[in-house]
Amino acid sequence: MQRSVPTGEIFTRFADKFRFQDANILGVKPENHNYRTYKPRPRLDKTYSRRRRRRGFGSNRLLIGAVGILVVVLGLAVFGYQAFSSAPVPTDNTMSLTVPKMERVEGVPVYTGPANDEAKLGAGTVHLDSTGYPWEAGSNVYIAGHRLGYPNTKSFLVFYDLNKLENGDEVVLKDSVGTEYVYRVFNRLVADPNDVQVADPVPGKSIISLQTCTLPDYAKRLVVQAEYVTSKAA
C-alpha cells in the first residue's frame, strides 16, 4: 500500500530541489555545493573608447605644435645673434654716420662719450657711452647731434633736417673696421630733456636713435628711431 506523503514534506522536497537554482539566480553559494560564481568582464562603450583615443591624439598634436614653434623661435634667435656676431668686434669704438635723405650727414664722425661732452659734439656727433653698439644684438645705439652747431666744423647744421626723416628712410652706421649696419626709420617722437627712458633698449629690436634739439626754442628733444635691417662687411 502506497504511503501518503504529508503536505509539509512535499514542500520540503521542493524547497531542496530548487534551493540551488534560487541560489544561482541570487548569486549566493549554497552550502556543500561546488559552485563558482560567474563574474562577467566589464566592457567599455565603443564610442567612449574612440573619444578617449581622439582626445589623446589631439593632446599629442598640441604638444608637437608647441615644440615646433619653440624650435622656430630659438632658430630665429640664434640666426639673429649670428648675424651680429659674424662681424669682427672693433677695438676702436669710433664710428661714422650716413643718412642719404639728410643733406649734411655723410660720413659724419661719431665719437663715444657722455652727453655733455661739448668737444666731441663740436667735432661731429656723440654716441652716448651708456648705450649699446651696433654690433650688439638688442641694443639702442643713441647718437646726439647739434641742430645748428659750429661753423667750419662737422657739427655745423649736422642734424638740422632730422625732422624730414620718415618711416622707411635709411640710416647707415659704419664701425672702425668698415662694417656697415643698415637701419630703417620706424618712429619719431618729441621728448623732454629729462626723459632718459628714450635711450633704453626696445624689446625685440636692435635700433639706432638720432637726437637733436627742437626749433625754435631748443626746449625739447626730437628723436628719430630706426630698426636694424642688415649689415655689410668691409
For the segment 184-207, what is each residue's pLDDT rounded down to a tens digit? 999 999 999 999 999 999 999 999
Q: Which residue has the higher pLDDT, 145 or 64?
A: 145
For the segment 51-72, what is each residue's pLDDT rounded down to a tens digit? 555 555 555 666 666 655 654 4
Scored b (16 or more CB within 10 A) or e, 117-149 reads beebbebbbbbbeebbbbbebbbbbbbbbbbeb
Using the predicted structure, report yes or no on whether residue 216 has a pLDDT greater than 60.
yes
